[in-house]
Structure 1
Amino acid sequence: MKRPLRIWAALVALLAGGCASHPVQPPPMTFDEIAEGYVRAVLAVGEHDPNEVDAYYGPAQWREQAHKEQRSLIALRNIITRLYQNAETAPADPKVPAALFELRRRNLKDLIAALDARVRMLQGWKPSFDDESLALYDIAAPHYKEDDFKPMLATLDKLLPPGPGSVSERYNRYTEQFAIPADRIEPVMKIATEAARARTLHWFKLPNGEHFDLELVHDQPWSAYNWYQGKAVSRIEINTDQPITISRAIELASHEGYPGHHVYNSLLEDQLLKGRHWQEFSIYALFSPQSFIAEGSADYGVDLAFPPAARHELTRKLFEAAGFDPDQAATYNAIVDAAQPAGAATLEAARRYRDGQATAEQTLQWLQTYSLATPSRAQQRLRFFDRYGAYIINYSYGKQVVAQAIDRSAGKDATEAERWRWFFTLLSTPRTPQSLLKDGLADQTEAPPAAAVPSTP
């Protein structure tokens, strides 16, 4: 492991020479050296921000060195700037197809730029919601008005059983009839997860030994979290502070597991870290464009894994497992589907709150009206906004951009197999939000060499 130490030492030497009368510039870096420098820089930033490093499965000594050195934010910004400059000019790898290498270059440059923005925020920079979105996630979401969500409320008003209260109150009263009893959460989640895994494995293979462990937790600002451990293993935590309905069980099994975060992380590790030895994929910086791809693909993966007929079949099965009448599944799914625009309403609530256009009380009211949140769930979401800022754009808007990219590449009338194959391409090659928005997956490249390749159903 002497070479990575040399890389980091060269970057640090840049700082030491910066105050000398004749600073010594380190030689240009290869792209692999830039990638290793990026990983070390993320680990160093993680010493200042415990939320920065979402997953790491690279050499343990790199983390240990970051903890020992405790580099200042000013020093890290200088290192990050040097990495970005080298990423722009480093020669391509002749062993990698040109289109694939340029995807790597664009992706790593965006990751480095996002890391620089995060350091500036830790130094005190307070950007607007949209500026934060662009700086960290390479994209900004559309703006929404109250009128954008009134059609959703009107549709739900017609679908929901009559009764007292607002549409949101009636919606929650209805859906919480189908909240899974505490003693049945684990068996219901097991059925949902096995179904999601089977649907995914029908379309492509996953690395040998992949699996995840499920844990029920409390008192978190999120409803679920995938903590990727490396070697195709995840730990998925589900927050049981709020009721877990049948539709939520399907979403969690797919979004956190198959074909969502667990599959995405497993494929990146297998295809790009092990298959190509690209070290930037040994770490996942939470506040980076990778999160837009991760959350957007995970939300898109729910509908991909369970199109209407398959979802109806699974919903009936989960109703039975939870002790509910399966004949109510069709009505239940229709009502849940009608509430989909609530995700965009949550995004807009975060923007207005973070930009000071709405107080906490006004935001809670918005969430309860247009995001269909109960008072306690609205409070949980406010905690999420406080901790994670503009991260919320990665969900509903991420799903929209991913869906448009796959539609553009596969065609709106594509077969299910074609959609899965383009989805595999998205999950197993370096992608940036802006490239998806502008080009879709038009820059299709050959599949990276590794064990996990699309299967033929």
Structure 2
Amino acid sequence: MTSAPVDVAREYVRLGLRFDRLESGFVDAYTGDPRIRAAVEDEPAPTPQGLRDQARTLLGELDAARLPADRTAFLRGQLTGLECSARKMSGEPVAFRDEVRSYFQVDVELGDPAHYAAAHAALEELLPGDGTLAERYARHRRREECPPQRLEVAVQALSSALRDRVRSGYGLPEAETVRYEVVTDKPWSGFNYYEGAYRSRVAINADLPHRLSQLPHLVAHESYPGHHTEHCRKEQGLVERAGRVEHTVFLVNTPECLMAEGLADLGVDAAVGEGWGRWSAEVLGDLGLRFDGDLAERIAAATAPLNRVRQDAALMLHDRGADPDDVVAHLQRWSLVSDERARQQLRFLTHPLWRAYITTYVEGFELLSGWLSARPAEQSAADRFLRLLDEPLTPAVVAGELQAA
């Protein structure tokens, strides 16, 4: 007598919920049956070793489950990330680069200082004047700061304008909503809490100043067409229509995070495209909030190579054992940020749950922007981006398509 096949997708959901009992926040979102979560909460307390073994068992059951290839690839990547997280939680030594590869299906290396120096040279031309480049850049950033008392109204205006573009360009469920709140004492600048039923709560961290030219990116990243839009479309398509229960849970430190953050960082490009600076300046100008949109767009292009400096910092800390003060100095030198902002970044990089997560932004953006650019001639950028919103793609699958192209 043969035993019934394991429902790998449902067991994966239960396994993910068990991780949240060991590390609060590991489950970024859960929109499934509340009875499943309640049942997991009533189980005996899980152990890292037990979760590791469960992940390995489910990995071994995947081929026998005979799921479609895209479901199998998605679940294999997710379970591999969970198995590594369990090993880390149990105190097993895992090299940082191996940790990142297991979580996100990418290999990471230190950036090239020559590229950073070239970015500095480009910025020098855009910001002439007295003082060092870091001083001039800091003055420019201060000129762009949003008054704290106007932050919420600015976010709401940008959200409304981006929502209109996403609704017409990509489509949204009729009932979707986003509500915003301003918070403090967090290691991130913004966070999307997806609540299910097409609802999100987006928290904006006011610990550090927000610049007017960065607010469009923040709102696009968290809401339209970023995290909120992706959650809505996948809940509607993959969960409700296709019955893929694995997409009722979103777990930290898994391949889907790199996909989601890369997609979200492409948000302004996908919703507005070239000319986003002037467009954003017009939206905020209606509120009496002024900045030079054309200059902001040129500066963003010039400084794009510096995004990798944040990943350098993680590698220095966790792969090379560098002194935190040396890491802060590296961030200040190449990212041209203040000591305060560098130490805020360090807080994120040393958080037990988030220490490897910076890779999702750096490698996610690079992988997906390259994949969008390499689309077939007959496919529009919007149609290509729609695949990111709707399909259970993985970094490995995207890298394979990019290599084939």
TM-score (norm 2): 0.94
Residue 121 of structure 2 corresponds to residue 154 of structure 1: yes
The Cα of 1:357 is off from its aligned counterpart by 4.3
Q: Structure 2: how far apart are the matches of 1:51 and 1:355?
A: 25
The 8 Å contact of residues 138 and 289 in structure 1, kept in 2 or not, is answered as: yes
**AA partner of residue 172 (structure 1):** A
Q: Which of 144, 150, 167 matches 2:111?
A: 144
Residue 307 of structure 2 corresponds to residue 343 of structure 1: yes
The Cα of 1:442 is off from its aligned counterpart by 7.9
The Cα of 1:372 is off from its aligned counterpart by 2.5
Q: Structure 1: how far apart are the matches of 2:100 and 2:340?
A: 27
**AA partner of residue 46 (structure 1):** D
- Higher radius of gyration, 1 or 2: 1
Paired position in structure 2 for 1:426: 388
Please give the secondary structure, in 1, of the residue aligned with 2:357: helix
The Cα of 1:143 is off from its aligned counterpart by 2.9
- Say if 1:317 and 1:134 are closer, same or farther in 2 by CA, change over 3 A: same
Paired position in structure 1 for 2:52: 77
The 8 Å contact of residues 364 and 378 in structure 1, kept in 2 or not, is answered as: yes
After TM superposition, the structure 1 stretch with the greater mean CA deviation from structure 2, 333-342 or 287-296, is 333-342
**AA partner of residue 80 (structure 1):** A
Paired position in structure 1 for 2:374: 408
- Say if 1:74 and 1:25 are closer, same or farther in 2 by CA, change over 3 A: farther
Paired position in structure 2 for 1:18: none
Q: Structure 1: how far apart are the matches of 2:404 and 2:393?
A: 11
The 8 Å contact of residues 194 and 200 in structure 2, kept in 1 or not, is answered as: yes
The 8 Å contact of residues 350 and 389 in structure 1, kept in 2 or not, is answered as: yes
- Say if 1:442 and 1:297 are closer, same or farther in 2 by CA, change over 3 A: farther
The 8 Å contact of residues 210 and 231 in structure 1, kept in 2 or not, is answered as: yes
Please give the secondary structure, in 1, of the residue aligned with 2:159: helix
The Cα of 1:218 is off from its aligned counterpart by 0.4
The Cα of 1:310 is off from its aligned counterpart by 4.0
1:71-150 equivalence runs, <5 A? 71-92=46-67, 101-150=68-117
The 8 Å contact of residues 293 and 431 in structure 1, kept in 2 or not, is answered as: yes
Q: Deviations over 1:377-417 (max 9, x none)?
A: 11111010011111101112211111122222244xx77xx
Paired position in structure 2 for 1:352: 316
TM-score (norm 1): 0.84
The Cα of 1:83 is off from its aligned counterpart by 1.1
Gaps of 5+ in 2: none
Paired position in structure 2 for 1:239: 205
The Cα of 1:64 is off from its aligned counterpart by 1.8
- Say if 1:80 and 1:351 are closer, same or farther in 2 by CA, change over 3 A: same
The Cα of 1:26 is off from its aligned counterpart by 4.8
Q: Structure 1: how far apart are the matches of 2:51 and 2:363?
A: 31
The Cα of 1:145 is off from its aligned counterpart by 2.8
The Cα of 1:187 is off from its aligned counterpart by 1.5
The 8 Å contact of residues 34 and 86 in structure 1, kept in 2 or not, is answered as: yes
Q: Which runs of 4+ in 1 moved over 3 A?
A: 24-27, 440-443
The 8 Å contact of residues 169 and 374 in structure 1, kept in 2 or not, is answered as: no
After TM superposition, the structure 1 stretch with the greater mean CA deviation from structure 2, 272-281 or 155-164, is 155-164
- Say if 1:142 and 1:117 are closer, same or farther in 2 by CA, change over 3 A: same
Q: Structure 1: how far apart are the matches of 2:32 and 2:97?
A: 33
Q: Deviations over 1:64-103 (max 9, x none)?
A: 22222122222222222221111122224xxxxxxxx211
Q: Structure 1: how far apart are the matches of 2:209 and 2:114?
A: 29
Q: Structure 2: how far apart are the matches of 1:407 and 1:437?
A: 13
**AA partner of residue 401 (structure 2):** D
- Say if 1:320 and 1:336 are closer, same or farther in 2 by CA, change over 3 A: farther
Percent of pairs with identical residues: 27
Paired position in structure 2 for 1:288: 254
Gaps of 5+ in 1: 1-23, 93-100, 444-457
The Cα of 1:267 is off from its aligned counterpart by 1.2
The 8 Å contact of residues 178 and 199 in structure 2, kept in 1 or not, is answered as: yes
Q: Which of 161, 172, 175 matches 1:206?
A: 172
Say how many residue pairs are matched: 402
Q: Which of 152, 164, 167 matches 1:186?
A: 152
The Cα of 1:359 is off from its aligned counterpart by 1.2
**AA partner of residue 85 (structure 1):** G
**AA partner of residue 273 (structure 2):** P
The Cα of 1:320 is off from its aligned counterpart by 5.0
The 8 Å contact of residues 168 and 372 in structure 1, kept in 2 or not, is answered as: yes
- Say if 1:320 and 1:170 are closer, same or farther in 2 by CA, change over 3 A: farther
The 8 Å contact of residues 217 and 267 in structure 2, kept in 1 or not, is answered as: no
Q: Structure 1: how far apart are the matches of 2:42 and 2:403?
A: 42
Q: Structure 2: how far apart are the matches of 1:362 and 1:439?
A: 39
- Say if 1:173 and 1:270 are closer, same or farther in 2 by CA, change over 3 A: same
- Say if 1:332 and 1:106 are closer, same or farther in 2 by CA, change over 3 A: closer
- Say if 1:310 and 1:147 are closer, same or farther in 2 by CA, change over 3 A: closer
Q: Structure 2: how far apart are the matches of 1:441 and 1:45?
A: 34
The Cα of 1:305 is off from its aligned counterpart by 1.5
| TM-align CA RMSD | 2.0
**AA partner of residue 238 (structure 1):** I
**AA partner of residue 195 (structure 1):** A
**AA partner of residue 5 (structure 2):** P
Paired position in structure 2 for 1:450: none
Q: Structure 2: how far apart are the matches of 1:225 and 1:120?
A: 27
